[in-house]
Amino acid sequence: MRYKIPESVLVVIHTPDLQVLLIERADRPGFWQSVTGSLDAEDEPLAATAAREVAEETGIDAALYQLTDWQHTIDYEIYPQWRHRYAPGVTRNTEHWFGLCVPEPLPVTLAPREHLQFKWLPWQAAAERCFSRSNAEAVLQLAWRAAALPGAPGEANLAGGVAP
């Protein structure tokens, strides 16, 4: 059995007016989340993991839009129901946060083995719907992070569009 690498990405897909895409897990109906996924190889670049997971889980090509590394990492305990996917004794995961700004709510093609449905929601409603506290926090941070993106009205823009 090939075990998952305990390092992953979370990608908050959003529009300029802060509509957020959430997807419902197939293995846990009622659990709504942003795009997430683990590295396929220890040396896979994080941005490549983020783009791959976005494509696999939504059918959206991240290269066509603005993928931003939020330079934010968290370490969390892996939920007991998912620990069997990791090597024996692995109980913690490191997650790196990204944002993907798309111009408007896009059509989504779900991977049916992974997700049941999707919703575009205003950012505050999306944060409330997330089953994971850390995913909710990432969505809540969207308001100030999005304000720092190039082209954001009334805000100073940061070089390269990478928020602190």
Q: Which of 53, 7, 4, 15 is nearest to 33 (CA)?
A: 53
Segment holding 20, helix H or strand E? strand 19-25
SS (H, E, C) 67-94: EEEEEEEEEEECCHHHHHHECCCCCEEE
Tens-digit pLDDT profile for residues 17-68: 999 999 999 999 999 999 999 999 999 999 999 999 999 999 999 999 999 9
Does the residue 1 lie in any domain? no
Place of tokens 């983020």: 50
Report the CATH number at residue 71: 3.90.79.10
Does the residue 94 lie in any domain? yes
Does the residue 134 lie in any domain? yes
Q: Between β-strands 92-101 and 7-14, what pairing exists: parallel, antiparallel or unpaired? A: parallel
Domains in the chain, number: 1
Question: Containing domain of residue 65, as a range?
Answer: 7-161
Does the residue 22 lie in any domain? yes
What percent of the chain shows pLDDT beyond 90? 82
In which region does residue 59 sit, left (phi positive, over 0), alpha (psi from -120 to 50) or beta (all else)?
left
Does the residue 2 lie in any domain? no
